Amino acid sequence: MEIKISEIKELGVKVLIKHGYTTKESEEIFESLLWSQRRESSQGISKLFGWRIEKLPNATSATIEKNEPNLLLVNANLNNHILACNLAVEEILKNIGQKPIFVAGVKNAVNSAGSIGYFTEKLAKAGLVSIMMSAADPGISTHGGSEAVFGTNPISIAVPTDSNPVLFDMSVASLTWGDLIKYDDVNKPLPEGFAFDESGEATTSAKAAMDGCVTSFDKSYKGSGLAMMIQILAGPLVGSLYSKNHTNCQYGSLIIVINPSCFGDKKEFVNRVVSMVNEVKNSRKAKGFEEILIPGEGGYRNTNKHIGSVEIPEELYKKMTDFILGL
């Protein structure tokens, strides 16, 4: 169903307030979910439910634990990961100045950072190159295994251009938690070969996969190897605890920001990127393809389709309204 952005925002904020967040926190979290929904990403409004979204009673506002010339560490203090990442990005933009590089970590979060391209886009629009990765609680099996040991662990890289950034954003999972929620919302079976239930048996049930795990995106040692390295860099490196136990595993993020001016003229860098983009788009197409898209281009086209309204499943709309009404 098609719903006005103003209406879905009002509903979404009400859901988040009922989850325990302040109005300001709810609006901030929902902006990230709406950004994803407009791009037709699995990290959108469906994540209002079922991803440890409820605010913990002992959660407090995210704080800056370490602030050095080229380094920032944000403690989420058991609060929402999106809020902590927003604080990190705000501080990076305040402090990077003419510094060639800036690194920020986020630790002690309790849930998903959502689409991390939401954060790298902000940095790219400020003229910065950024690499971001986030670690989650276990939801992916390692190659050769059938038990959850790594998070769905996204990685995003964004580069400024003279218009929309080149924006790469992917999860290392074959199916994200948001995907599982979407399949479950409409009672649709998963593709075969991508998920295991709690006992390690192959499954096509989204609900069973939520209690079990999914494979890495390529179902090989490459995908699970990348998942492990992101788990280390966005987890233990920034001070977030890793555990196979979902309750004990903390979420974390690592953001690496590079100022293009440290290598030369920033405008010249952008011109080179634009020239490369044009060459890639004009390269020879394979049979069956009418156009070559660069990273992020499809998402920006989807965003432009959803200026005043977004599409959501009727089941999700009912779930939101029932939740607000306490049904």
Residue 79 confidence class, pLDDT cut points 50, 70, 90: very high
- Confirm if 135 and 171 have CB atoms less than 8 A apart: no
User: Which DSSP category does 96 fall into?
Assistant: -
User: Which DSSP category does 52 fall into?
Assistant: S
- Mean pLDDT computed over 175-187: 84
Q: Please indicate whether residue 247 or residue 286 has the higher confidence score (pLDDT).
A: 286
Amino acid at 79: N
Q: From the CB of residue 19, how many other CB atoms can be counted at a distance below 10 Å?
A: 17
Dist. CA 304–CA 320, nearest whole Å = 25
Report if pTM > 0.85. yes
CA distances for 109 relative to 63, 84, 162, 231, 284, angstroms: 12, 8, 35, 14, 45
CA-closest candidate to residue 200, choices 255, 141, 122, 146: 146
Q: Using the predicted structure, report yes or no on whether residue 20 has a pLDDT greater than 90.
A: yes
Of 87-96, 116-125, 184-193, give the lowest mean pLDDT range: 184-193
Can you read off the two tokens belonging to residue 29?
A: 């979290």
Dist. CA 93–CA 294, nearest whole Å = 26
Residue 77 confidence class, pLDDT cut points 50, 70, 90: very high
Q: How much is the pLDDT for 267?
A: 95
> Coil, strand or helix: which one is 187?
coil
The CATH architecture to which 2-264+302-325 belongs is 2-Layer Sandwich (3.30)
Q: From the CB of residue 324, how many other CB atoms can be counted at a distance below 10 Å?
A: 15
Residue 177 confidence class, pLDDT cut points 50, 70, 90: confident
Residue 185 confidence class, pLDDT cut points 50, 70, 90: confident
Q: Using the predicted structure, report yes or no on whether residue 51 has a pLDDT greater than 80.
A: no
User: Which DSSP category does 147 fall into?
Assistant: S
Dist. CA 13–CA 238, nearest whole Å = 30
* CA dihedral (282, 283, 287, 288) positive or negative: negative
Q: How much is the pLDDT for 181?
A: 82
Can you read off the two tokens belonging to residue 120?
A: 């790298």
User: Which DSSP category does 138 fall into?
Assistant: S
Amino acid at 118: Y
Q: How much is the pLDDT for 176?
A: 84
**What contacts 168, CB < 8 A, 6 or more positions away?**
117, 155, 156, 157, 158, 295, 296
- Confirm if 87 and 118 have CB atoms less than 8 A apart: no
Q: From the CB of residue 189, how many other CB atoms can be counted at a distance below 10 Å?
A: 10
Dist. CA 234–CA 88, nearest whole Å = 14
Q: Using the predicted structure, report yes or no on whether residue 101 has a pLDDT greater than 80.
A: yes
Dist. CA 182–CA 175, nearest whole Å = 11
Q: Using the predicted structure, report yes or no on whether residue 178 has a pLDDT greater than 80.
A: no
Beta strands 101-109 and 213-214 are unpaired
CA-closest candidate to residue 81, choices 234, 225, 233, 246: 234
In this prediction, what percent of the chain has a pLDDT beyond 70? Answer: 100
Residue extents of the structural domains in the chain: 2-264+302-325, 266-296
Q: How many helices (H) and strands (E) does the chain have?
A: 10, 11
Residue 319 confidence class, pLDDT cut points 50, 70, 90: very high
Tell me the average pLDDT of the chain: 95
The radius of gyration of the chain from alpha carbons, rounded to an integer in Å, stands at 20
Dist. CA 246–CA 268, nearest whole Å = 47
Q: Using the predicted structure, report yes or no on whether residue 198 has a pLDDT greater than 80.
A: yes
CA-closest candidate to residue 191, choices 159, 214, 158, 224: 214
Beta strands 154-159 and 166-171 are antiparallel
Residues 248-307: tens digit of each pLDDT: 889 999 999 999 999 999 999 999 999 999 999 999 999 999 999 999 999 999 999 999
